[in-house]
Amino acid sequence: MVTQAQPLATKPLAKREPDPADHTTCAVMSDILNRIGDKWSVMIVGRLGHGTKRFSELKRAVEGISQRMLTLTLRNLERDGLVVRTVYPEIPPRVEYKLTPLGETLLEPINALWDWASVHGEDIARARERYDGP
Amino acid sequence: MVTQAQPLATKPLAKREPDPADHTTCAVMSDILNRIGDKWSVMIVGRLGHGTKRFSELKRAVEGISQRMLTLTLRNLERDGLVVRTVYPEIPPRVEYKLTPLGETLLEPINALWDWASVHGEDIARARERYDGP
DNA sequence: CAGGATCCAAATAGATACTG
DNA sequence: CAGTATCTATTTGGATCCTG
């Protein structure tokens, strides 16, 4: 309940190797992964990396997503401070979503992953074929 | 011992921006995220980044994981060619896990994420407090 | 248009108990 | 030690209907 105003900003835990034995960072990672690891968050963040989009644009852009999941995912991203939601009180209603500065910083590691996926995706596919049987 | 596969190098699909409209890479991403996005894979890969570990070592190192989930996750990582499993026919049995060359390449984007998490974890925590109510 | 509310199916995860 | 086999609880996602 205490809205503690600790000297915030970029005074993190210090850079460190990924170390699952480090329970603090480990917990944070679990948390992050729960967000970006879900089925849609990365797609949406990636799409918003191209600029502001409204709800229906996202729905069309992110192939296969249901209305419900788009709403839920956007709410979570908003809650985590990665996305801002702006409502224009018009008729018909218009709602726009864009990345926050924090959200934009996430774009970088996500791009790294995206690159990895595009480079090694076929390696994985081959590994699976090998594993699943000759 | 296990230097069987050369890192297959970089002959990818060409570098590209994250673009959820690109259905090919998009599908690959979904796939990758399904692997590294689950609750345990990243922890395990991170831990194996420090070197070969046996089953019980991993179980102790990755806090909170159940035997079942460790087995399942390791099998998936093995299937995807990210981890090699070596059984030593001794009594009592000994099984060791280590990253493949492909698995090691994954360490890099994972580290990027880990860094991001350690830097911005508190930002997210604060954003949530703000969102959830004062 | 941008959702909220429901209901239901499927995927995931945890807790045992048992085994070579 | 390193699993497998079950059974159950929780999470998640999709489909559908409704509204300002």
Helix axes B23-36, B41-48, angle to 10 degrees: 80
CA–CA distances in Å: residue B67 to residues A3, A19, A21, B63, B73: 40, 20, 17, 11, 10
Which helix (H) or strand (E) segment is B123 a member of?
helix B101-132
Asked whether the predicted pLDDT for residue B21 surpasses 70, the reply is no
Share of chain A above pLDDT 90, in %: 57
Judged by phi (left if over 0) then psi (alpha if -120 to 50, else beta), residue B8 lies in: left
**pLDDT value for A70:** 97
| Mean pLDDT of the B25-46 span | 82
Per DSSP, the residues of A4-29 read -----SS--S------TT-HHHHHHH
Q: Which of A21, A43, A114 sits opposite B61 (nearest CB)?
A: A21
- Cα of B15 to nearest chain A Cα, Å: 6
| Mean pLDDT of the A47-71 span | 94
> What does pTM read for this prediction?
0.83
Give the phi and the psi of residue B117 in degrees, each rounded to 5: -60, -40
Bond into B134 cis (ω within 30): no
**Cross-strand bridge partners of residue A3:** none
Q: Which of A113, A122, A98 is nearest to A42 (CA)?
A: A113
- Cα of A103 to nearest chain B Cα, Å: 10
Q: Which of B49, B106, B122 sits opposite A12 (nearest CB)?
A: B122
